[in-house]
């Protein structure tokens, strides 16, 4: 690692009291031993001859304030283990709990402490070395006990365990009323009781568990259960409204085997012992105070119980998947192709909000395996007649993948529909299959066995058999004697056609979606739900009416040479007509490589000319002549072609590198796109722009304009900036140098057990414009959500402990680009579920602070940490769909609509923002949750900043649905997966998949993940991911 280190030189501007002057002071990055003993341990570094140029500010940065609380003395707190100063590798955390974790805040006395939440949380597994906070009086103690998180709690409650509190409500914008898919739920008056359930012998199936408890309730409700109707979570807990007549009791229950399948005859019966034991009582008064905003810590257990209560009846009626329920009866299933169909359903979740308990209901769709005869399923899967044509080896592999793990029922026995799970496929056709029938190894063919045993004649003997059971005792079932069991969700990857078909089903106009939600609530008839009645819960059948505000669109600044020098977007969009990019770049040396067989050289040449002219019109300088003639190549020769073009161009320009490579790709290009990006960005250092064949033939001005926007930012330019930014009028951004980060982690798809997760961090590189973002990526442990490489240290044999990481590198990059060090940090974090809030904040805020401290002692700019969520189910609808002034062309609410009342958190700082205009379907607002705020943002301040930034997205002339830094981080993380899996599904939807085993001994996060190939330096500096 030592060879990778660089010496960074920082030169900045400082203002003397008498006159402006530049000065430089030399400060080596060395921390004295006594400084290490401070509250935040800064990693000690050996003194070397290396020096760094730093600015010593003459004016002290105002101390950070968190929503009115006193600031901490520098350096700020850490929750890292002081016992392991040499290692910054962190933890794969697998905390999949749905509980809402909560973060720390400062004490009123200014003595900084990030206290752990009072809410009980599920700790991560033993192999997760996340450092936790243990409470000791009012101080925080860093602990790392054998890599196990140990949360300290005081009496199960703490008033100081919340995230940033709401500083007030926003007032900016035009007020209006919107409807939300939240339904008010009454708070139960009875205390809820929690009982532990132990079923012996242990059962892994939730449905079997439910059948056992249902039978127990049927038998003993009126007697031993004291007429209570318990709600059951399917695993280890039941809940009652009021106490049961006992604290512990054991019952014996007998049920029929669900897979037995006997229709008119004796069925197999199994006996189970069920022990029920009292655990705890959930206090409804506590929940009421939390909902009223009188206490900051919500009793998560009580909310979880109420959620289970309202799900209980739906679990019996529908097919549950996560928090959603599906049924083929809700709407007629639509075929998706290859043996799949879409089922419609609804999502349901109880949520604490300002208006009280709220039931969030939304429509949902998912892919299910169609309950077909297996032979018909196989025919659909392969897309050919399988009854007359033999199967190839590739056919067998596809069938095996498609059927493995699928449940089937036999159809060859009149009164028995026994169910089996498919383990595999026989390598031989049915006619060749023999098996031993007795201890003497007497062999019998499958054909003979089925004829003699069941009187069933196998017709299609050329097909293989399904293999069920285990490998030691495998059983063979002819395909024609099996049918797929209904209600099995398809969890693997969908192909392009299936995704398109599913989107057609799910895409609903706002009015239609609203009506379907209301119909679902009425159909569920919560007023007749015996479980809701038992627990005293009433659910409103009306959508919540919420006061919203429509924030004004920001003015955008373009170049002075254009006819229109500035622009006010209308309904979330504008265009480039009569405008020129504010910082148009020059493309002098470019080349084009054509991988499309159907595109002739003259067509490619014409397209390049048109694109170059559009770049010129948009404000760039674009050399009309390529360095070398357009080079045509086969897609399977991508590496050879790219290196040929690169070296030929270098020779032609006498060593000057290409600035841009245009690439024409076939519409369906498999792994070509990913291979090209990987080679260009990690091997050759080339900036590339890919164009599909369909766009080359059908040249659209709009398409060319959008491509020119992408090319300009990839070359290091800016397309537009906020007028308020260059006028220095953005609160808490324009006053002092401010850096805005975006971060995201993308995880491999379901079924990929070895591929790493990819983390990406981008950061603004210009101030006060905050428009250009440099990006860094890294691989980390499979499904690890905490970003491991934000800050890291390692041992160098010469320099000792050396600091690095993505935050540190981007802070240095900002300093180089602007000449100033950031004095404020705004961090937008995408992709975090509520159950991970606390853990992510604790770890990543600490990494940010360590990265800052590693650059200069006591350098701790105030941080605002905001989580961005898109995967939620809150939808906002116009109050009157007929009022054209309150909707956009798609019937959705207007861009800029913000909600921070009623359906938002009772005490914490969150808001919903619909920053974009809808195109089709129902718009999904982004949910922003401010977890930590040392910059003391007002509600209007952070809401308007976020909304305005959504108009600076570089790739189009529309406001986007997610704040651009978070959007860019997502793009960068998705791009980086091509570096490891070059043929994963790409932007144009071309299918392709290569499962790569990527785990190996490495240093990324310290968890044995093979690092990604490094980006070339010239690529890092620009928005290569656009």
| Per-residue pLDDT tens over the stretch 227-250 | 999 999 999 999 999 999 999 999
pLDDT at 401: 92
pLDDT at 124: 40
**Three-class SS of residue 859?**
coil
| Per-residue pLDDT tens over the stretch 879-893 | 999 888 899 999 999
Q: How far are the Cα atoms of 301, 442, 533 from residue 960, in angstroms, in the given order?
A: 37, 70, 44
The closest of 114, 44, 54 to 79, measured between CA atoms, is: 114
| Mean pLDDT score, 572-585 | 96
| Mean pLDDT score, 845-867 | 96
**Three-class SS of residue 287?**
helix
| Per-residue pLDDT tens over the stretch 362-376 | 999 999 999 999 999
Phi, psi of 1018 (to 5 degrees): -70, -25
Strands 248-256, 269-282: parallel, antiparallel or unpaired by DSSP? antiparallel
Mean pLDDT of the chain: 83
- Please state the separation of Cα 166 from the chain's center in Å: 25
pLDDT at 20: 34
String of DSSP letters for 980-1020: HSTTS--TT----------B-S--STTS-BPPPPPPPHHHH
| Per-residue pLDDT tens over the stretch 620-649 | 999 999 999 999 999 999 999 999 999 999
The closest of 682, 687, 743, 673 to 717, measured between CA atoms, is: 687
pLDDT at 261: 55
pLDDT at 450: 92
pLDDT at 720: 97
Residue 293 backbone zone (phi > 0: left; psi -120 to 50: alpha; other: beta): left
Strands 139-143, 13-15: parallel, antiparallel or unpaired by DSSP? unpaired
pLDDT at 267: 67
pLDDT at 422: 93
| Per-residue pLDDT tens over the stretch 270-319 | 999 999 999 999 888 889 999 999 988 888 889 999 999 999 999 999 99
Residue 29 near residue 855, CB atoms below 8 Å: yes
The position carrying tokens 């609380």 is 69
pLDDT at 263: 52
Helices and strands (H and E) in the chain: how many: 20, 46
Alpha-carbon distance of 7 to 819, in angstroms, equals: 16
| Mean pLDDT score, 839-864 | 96
| Per-residue pLDDT tens over the stretch 153-175 | 222 333 334 799 999 999 999 99
Alpha-carbon distance of 776 to 806, in angstroms, equals: 6
Q: Estimate the crossing angle of helix 806-818 against helix 837-855, to 10 degrees.
A: 50
Q: Which residues contact 198 (CB under 8 A, 6 or more apart)?
A: 236, 274, 275, 277
Judged against a pLDDT cut of 60, whether residue 90 lies above it is answered with no
Judged against a pLDDT cut of 60, whether residue 70 lies above it is answered with no
User: Model confidence at 55, in pLDDT bands (50, 70, 90)?
Assistant: very low
Q: What angle do CA 892, 896, 897 make, to 5 degrees?
A: 60
- Please state the separation of Cα 106 from the chain's center in Å: 29
pLDDT at 409: 93
Alpha-carbon distance of 599 to 240, in angstroms, equals: 70
Judged against a pLDDT cut of 50, whether residue 1005 lies above it is answered with no
pTM, two decimal places:
0.82
| Mean pLDDT score, 75-97 | 38
Q: What angle do CA 926, 932, 934 make, to 5 degrees?
A: 125
pLDDT at 258: 65
Judged against a pLDDT cut of 90, whether residue 37 lies above it is answered with no
The closest of 965, 674, 683, 1006 to 830, measured between CA atoms, is: 965
Alpha-carbon distance of 408 to 398, in angstroms, equals: 18
Phi, psi of 944 (to 5 degrees): -70, -35
Buried b (16+ CB within 10 A) or exposed e, 154-181: eeeebebbbbbbbbeebebbeebebbbb
| Per-residue pLDDT tens over the stretch 669-686 | 889 999 999 999 999 999
Judged against a pLDDT cut of 70, whether residue 961 lies above it is answered with yes
**Three-class SS of residue 434?**
strand
The closest of 315, 288, 311, 313 to 299, measured between CA atoms, is: 288
Which run of H or E residues covers position 974? helix 964-980
745 or 261, greater pLDDT: 745
The closest of 578, 551, 633 to 176, measured between CA atoms, is: 551
pLDDT at 502: 94
Residue 73 near residue 858, CB atoms below 8 Å: no
Judged against a pLDDT cut of 50, whether residue 139 lies above it is answered with no
| Per-residue pLDDT tens over the stretch 963-986 | 999 999 999 999 999 998 544 444
pLDDT at 38: 33
pLDDT at 265: 54
String of DSSP letters for 376-410: HHHHHHHTS-TTTSPPPHHHHHHHHHHHTT-EEEE
pLDDT at 50: 35
The position carrying tokens 């939390």 is 290
Judged against a pLDDT cut of 60, whether residue 145 lies above it is answered with no
Phi, psi of 238 (to 5 degrees): -125, 155
Alpha-carbon distance of 406 to 368, in angstroms, equals: 11
Phi, psi of 179 (to 5 degrees): -105, 140
Structure letter (DSSP) for residue 830: E
pLDDT at 266: 61
The position carrying tokens 């799910």 is 506
| Per-residue pLDDT tens over the stretch 591-600 | 999 999 999 9
Buried b (16+ CB within 10 A) or exposed e, 651-679: eeeeeeebbbbbbbbbeebbbbbbbbbbb
138 or 125, greater pLDDT: 125
pLDDT at 773: 96
Alpha-carbon distance of 401 to 493, in angstroms, equals: 12
The closest of 347, 349, 332, 328 to 489, measured between CA atoms, is: 328
User: Model confidence at 101, in pLDDT bands (50, 70, 90)?
Assistant: very low
Judged against a pLDDT cut of 60, whether residue 662 lies above it is answered with yes
Phi, psi of 939 (to 5 degrees): -60, -45
Judged against a pLDDT cut of 60, whether residue 34 lies above it is answered with no
pLDDT at 486: 94
Judged against a pLDDT cut of 90, whether residue 787 lies above it is answered with yes
pLDDT at 49: 35
Alpha-carbon distance of 456 to 450, in angstroms, equals: 5
**Three-class SS of residue 832?**
coil
Judged against a pLDDT cut of 90, whether residue 343 lies above it is answered with yes
Q: What angle do CA 633, 636, 640 make, to 5 degrees?
A: 60
pLDDT at 436: 84
Alpha-carbon distance of 1024 to 712, in angstroms, equals: 11
């Amino acid at each position: 690692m030592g060879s990778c280190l660089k010496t960074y030189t920082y030169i900045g501007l400082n203002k003397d009291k008498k006159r402006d002057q530049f000065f430089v002071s030399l400060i080596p990055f060395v921390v004295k031993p006594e400084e290490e003993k401070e509250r935040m341990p800064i990693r000690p570094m050996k003194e070397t001859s290396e020096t760094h140029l730093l600015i010593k500010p003459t004016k002290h940065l105002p101390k950070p304030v968190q929503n009115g609380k006193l600031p901490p003395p520098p350096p700020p707190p850490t929750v890292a283990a002081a016992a392991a100063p040499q290692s910054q590798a962190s933890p794969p955390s697998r905390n999949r709990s749905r509980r809402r974790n909560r973060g720390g805040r400062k004490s009123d006395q200014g003595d900084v402490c990030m206290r752990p939440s009072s809410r009980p949380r599920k700790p991560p597994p033993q192999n997760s070395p996340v450092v936790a906070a243990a409470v000791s009086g009012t101080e925080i103690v860093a602990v790392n006990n054998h890599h196990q998180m140990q949360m300290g709690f005081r009496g199960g409650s703490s008033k100081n365990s919340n995230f940033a509190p709401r500083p007030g409500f926003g007032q900016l914008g035009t007020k209006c009323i919107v409807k939300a898919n939240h339904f008010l739920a009454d708070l139960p008056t009875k205390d809820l009781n929690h009982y532990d359930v132990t079923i012996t012998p242990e059962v892994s199936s939730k449905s079997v568990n439910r059948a056992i408890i249902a039978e127990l309730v049927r038998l003993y409700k009126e007697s031993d259960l004291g007429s209570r109707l318990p709600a059951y979570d399917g695993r280890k807990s039941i809940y009652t409204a009021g106490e049961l007549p006992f604290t512990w009791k054991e019952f014996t229950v007998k049920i029929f085997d669900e897979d037995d399948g006997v229709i008119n005859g004796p069925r197999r019966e199994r006996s189970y012992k069920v022990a029920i034991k009292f655990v705890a009582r959930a206090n409804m008064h506590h929940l009421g105070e939390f909902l009223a905003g009188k206490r900051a810590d919500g009793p998560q257990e009580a909310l979880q119980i109420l959620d289970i209560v309202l799900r209980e009846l739906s679990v019996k009626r529908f097919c549950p998947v996560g928090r959603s329920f599906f049924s083929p009866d809700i709407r007629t299933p639509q075929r998706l192709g290859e043996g799949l169909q879409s089922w419609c359903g609804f999502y349901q979740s109880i949520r604490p909000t300002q208006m009280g308990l709220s039931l969030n209901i939304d429509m949902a769709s998912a892919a299910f395996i169609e309950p077909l005869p297996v032979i018909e399923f196989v025919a659909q899967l392969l897309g050919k007649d399988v009854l007359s044509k033999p199967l190839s080896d590739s056919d067998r592999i596809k069938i095996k993948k498609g059927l493995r793990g699928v449940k089937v029922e036999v159809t060859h026995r009149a009164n028995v529909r026994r169910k089996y799970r498919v383990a595999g496929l026989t390598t031989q056709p049915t006619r060749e299959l023999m098996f031993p029938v007795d201890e003497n190894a007497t062999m019998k063919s499958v054909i003979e066995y089925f004829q003699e045993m069941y009187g069933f004649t196998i017709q299609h003997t050329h097909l293989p058999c399904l293999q069920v059971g285990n490998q030691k005792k495998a059983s063979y079932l002819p395909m024609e004697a099996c049918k797929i069991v209904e209600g099995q969700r398809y969890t693997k990857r969908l192909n392009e056609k299936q995704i398109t078909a599913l989107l057609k089903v799910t895409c609903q106009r706002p009015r239609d979606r609203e009506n379907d939600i209301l119909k679902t609530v009425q159909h569920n008839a919560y007023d007749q739900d015996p479980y809701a009645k038992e627990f005293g819960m009433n659910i409103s059948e009306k959508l919540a009416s919420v006061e919203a505000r429509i924030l004004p669109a920001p003015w955008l600044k373009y170049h002075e040479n254009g006819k229109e020098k500035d622009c006010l977007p209308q309904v979330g969009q504008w265009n480039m007509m009569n405008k020129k990019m504010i910082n148009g770049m020059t493309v002098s040396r470019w080349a084009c490589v054509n991988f499309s067989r159907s595109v002739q050289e003259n067509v490619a040449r014409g397209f390049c000319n048109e694109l170059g002219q559009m770049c010129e019109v948009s404000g760039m300088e674009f050399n009309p002549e390529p360095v070398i003639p357009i080079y045509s190549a086969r897609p399977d020769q991508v590496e050879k072609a790219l290196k040929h073009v690169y070296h030929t161009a270098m020779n032609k320009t006498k060593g000057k590198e290409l600035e841009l490579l245009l690439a024409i790709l076939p519409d369906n290009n498999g792994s070509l796109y990913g291979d090209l990006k990987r080679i260009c960005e990690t091997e050759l250092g080339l900036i590339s722009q890919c164009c599909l064949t369909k766009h080359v033939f059908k040249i659209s001005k709009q398409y060319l304009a959008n491509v020119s926007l992408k090319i300009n930012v990839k070359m290091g330019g800016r397309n537009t900036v906020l007028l308020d930014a260059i006028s220095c009028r953005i609160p808490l951004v324009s006053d002092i140098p401010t850096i805005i980060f975006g971060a995201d982690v993308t995880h491999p798809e379901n079924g990929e057990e070895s591929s790493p997760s990819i983390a990406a961090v981008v950061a603004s590189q210009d101030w006060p414009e905050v428009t250009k973002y440099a990006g860094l990526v890294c691989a980390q442990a499979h499904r690890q959500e905490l970003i491991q490489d934000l800050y890291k240290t390692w041992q160098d044999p010469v320099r000792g402990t050396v600091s690095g990481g993505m935050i540190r590198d981007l802070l240095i990059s900002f300093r180089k680009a602007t000449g100033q060090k950031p004095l404020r940090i705004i961090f937008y974090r995408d992709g975090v579920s509520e159950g991970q809030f606390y853990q992510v904040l604790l770890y990543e805020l600490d990494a940010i602070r360590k990265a800052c401290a590693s650059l200069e002692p006591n350098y701790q700019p105030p941080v605002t940490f905001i989580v961005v969520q898109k995967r939620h189910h809150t939808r906002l609808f116009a109050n009157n769909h007929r009022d054209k002034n309150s909707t956009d062309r798609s019937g959705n609410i207007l861009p800029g609509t913000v909600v921070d009342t009623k359906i938002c958190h009772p005490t914490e700082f969150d808001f919903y923002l619909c920053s974009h205009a809808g195109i089709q379907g129902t718009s999904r607002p982004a949910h922003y949750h401010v977890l930590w705020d040392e910059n003391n943002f007002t509600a209007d301040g952070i809401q308007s900043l976020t909304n305005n930034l959504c108009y600076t997205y570089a790739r189009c002339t529309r406001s986007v649905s997610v704040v651009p830094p978070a959007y860019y981080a997502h793009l960068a993380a998705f791009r980086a997966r091509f570096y490891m899996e070059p043929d994963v599904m790409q932007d144009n939807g071309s299918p392709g998949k290569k499962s790569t085993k990527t785990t190996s001994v490495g240093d990324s996060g310290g968890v044995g993940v093979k690092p990604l190939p490094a980006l070339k330096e010239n690529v890092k500096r620009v928005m290569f991911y656009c």
